[in-house]
Amino acid sequence: MTKANWIVGLLALVFFTHAQYQGWSLFEREASAQTARVAGGGGRAFHK
């Protein structure tokens, strides 16, 4: 079972690395939502 987890993890890492190399943006929707939220919140005070 542990060996299978290693193989699945390595395959996921290889797929993610290949996708980044090809220019696929796997998290584009989340990243654009974050920038829109930051840009829209200019009137709020900074919160630590």
Q: Given pLDDT bands bounded at 50, 70 and 90, which one contains residue 1?
A: confident
pLDDT tens track for 3-30? 999 999 999 999 999 988 888 776 777 7
Q: Are 26 and 19 in contact (CB under 8 A)?
A: yes
Between 38 and 13, name the one with better pLDDT.
13
pLDDT attached to residue 12: 96
Distance between CA 1 and CA 34 in Å, rounded?
Answer: 38
Q: Give me the count of residues in the chain.
A: 48
